[in-house]
Structures are given as structure tokens and as C-alpha cells.
């Protein structure tokens, strides 16, 4: 595990974007695992900037996102599909059909989970997976106490996650209570993982996840076992 302390959010974003950019330059057919939340916004901004300067070409890249809320369609402004289009895909030359987000409106959810796992497998797996971390240690939407061996599945969101994500909605009642997420096992199968976290409010969970025992109560703690994990964080103190 490589742990890098960034000097600012911009520095963190640039460093993470550098790794993704190198991946795409070395293999233009890369499969990128992407995340939502506020943490990766700077990474997407930096990659768009380099794309505009002709430094990076996404035309042969495929993307797979970690998760999506149930009941929200892709044109709902709160959906993760909408977030990805708005903040990244609409600004680069990735082919829309090569961008994948779980379908939160699928009528057969079990079939949708299987489809998503098969899709990733058929793509040859994820080359680089970008991850944020929730205050309770969730990655994707894998909440505390879930089994580490799960692939894509439907989850009931925990109270702290609903609380944290209420800031993106008009009210707490509008936050969907369920989501479809890549599982811990799917995430751990990525060839390389970049975990980013910014702000002193993430210090405690970063310490637990990276320095504490590996337990399902802290889903991100399993990342300690990944053979190619880079953590880039920006907090006042060292973790």
C-alpha cells in the first residue's frame, strides 16, 4: 500500500488524475472504475482539463461505475448516471455506449446484478478503480457488516449514509433507501485501486480503515489486502 499525503485538494486531484492519465496513455483501451461523491470531482475536472489540452484521449476507454440509487432514472439530477454525465462524460470524448452505470430502474434486480458482473468480466476486469470513502467506511455503497465476498448486489443504505447524502437532495425524505452497488469482491478484483479522501472529517475513518483491523464493520479495511492500492489524502494530520 502506498499512502500519499497531498498538500491540498487540488494536489490530491492532480495526483490521482496523473495515475488515471498514465493508465489511459499506456493502454488506450483501459477499463476505468469510477466513483461519485464530492471527492472525485477534482479528479474529473483535471482529466477534462488535460483532455481539452489534447493530452489524453478517451475514445477507446470503457468506464464502469460503482453504484446507483434504486428508483432513480438516468435523467434524474440526483442519479449517479446524471452526475457522471454532468461532471465527466459530457466533457470528454468517451463513447457514451462505453460508459456503464448500474441500472437503478431494473425490474429484475437480481438479473441486473448478474449482468453488471458479467459485463465487467467480459471487459477483462477493471484496470484502475477510483474510490472515495464514506464516514462509516463504506466503499461504493458497501455498508458496514456486509460480507466481503459479495459481487454486485442491492443494499439498504445505512442511516449515516442517508444523512451524509441528504446534502445532495432537497430533503432527507427524497434520498433513496436502497442502491445497487459493486460488491467488495468486485472492487477487490480491480488490478489497481486509488482511494482518495479529503478533509479532517475523514481522518478517523481513514485511520480505522488503513491502520486498524480488517473487519466487515469497516468495509474499506479490506483494501489493506489489495496488492496495488494507492491512498491519496488531504487532511491536516498524518493518518
Ligand X SMILES: N[C@@H]1[C@@H](O)[C@H](O)[C@@H](COP(=O)(O)O)O[C@@H]1O
Binding site for ligand X (CB under 6 A): 35-39, 66-67, 132-134, 140-141, 161, 165
Q: C-beta of 207: minimal distance to ligand X in Å?
A: 16
143 catalytic? Reply is yes
75 catalytic? Reply is no
146 catalytic? Reply is no
Which set of grid coordinates corresponds to residue 22? Answer: 498514465
136 catalytic? Reply is yes
By beta-carbon proximity to ligand X, the closer residue of 66 and 70 is: 66
By beta-carbon proximity to ligand X, the closer residue of 47 and 66 is: 66
Write down the residue that cell numbers 467480459 correspond to. Answer: 122
Q: C-beta of 2: minimal distance to ligand X in Å?
A: 19
136, 146, 153, 165: which is the annotated catalytic residue? 136
Q: C-beta of 43: minimal distance to ligand X in Å?
A: 11
Write down the residue that cell numbers 438479473 correspond to. Answer: 111
68, 100, 112, 138: which is the annotated catalytic residue? 138
Active site residues: 67, 136, 138, 143
Amino acid at each position: 500500500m502506498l499512502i500519499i499525503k497531498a498538500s491540498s485538494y487540488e494536489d490530491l486531484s492532480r495526483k490521482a488524475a496523473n495515475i488515471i492519465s498514465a493508465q489511459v496513455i499506456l493502454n488506450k483501451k483501459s477499463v476505468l472504475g469510477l466513483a461519485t461523491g464530492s471527492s472525485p470531482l477534482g479528479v474529473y475536472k483535471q482529466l477534462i482539463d488535460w483532455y481539452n489540452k489534447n493530452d489524453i484521449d478517451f475514445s477507446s476507454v470503457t468506464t464502469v461505475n460503482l453504484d446507483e440509487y434504486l428508483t432513480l432514472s438516468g435523467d434524474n439530477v440526483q442519479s449517479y448516471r446524471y452526475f457522471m454525465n454532468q461532471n465527466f462524460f459530457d466533457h470528454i470524448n468517451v463513447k457514451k455506449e462505453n460508459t456503464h452505470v448500474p441500472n437503478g430502474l431494473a425490474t429484475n434486480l437480481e438479473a441486473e446484478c448478474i449482468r453488471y458482473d458479467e459485463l465487467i468480466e467480459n471487459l477483462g476486469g477493471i484496470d484502475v478503480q477510483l474510490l472515495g470513502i464514506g464516514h462509516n467506511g463504506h466503499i461504493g455503497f458497501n455498508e458496514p457488516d456486509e460480507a466481503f465476498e459479495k459481487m454486485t448486489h442491492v443494499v439498504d443504505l445505512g442511516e449515516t449514509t442517508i444523512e451524509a447524502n441528504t446534502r445532495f437532495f432537497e430533503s432527507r425524505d427524497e434520498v433513496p433507501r436502497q442502491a445497487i452497488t459493486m460488491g467488495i469482491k468486485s472492487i477487490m478484483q480491480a488490478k489497481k485501486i486509488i482511494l482518495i479522501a479529503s478533509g479532517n472529517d475523514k481522518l478517523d475513518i481513514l485511520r480505522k480503515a488503513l491502520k486498524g483491523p480488517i473487519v466487515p464493520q469497516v468495509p474499506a479495511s479490506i483494501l489493506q489486502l489489495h496488492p496495488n492500492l494507492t491512498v491519496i489524502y488531504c487532511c491536516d494530520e498524518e493518518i
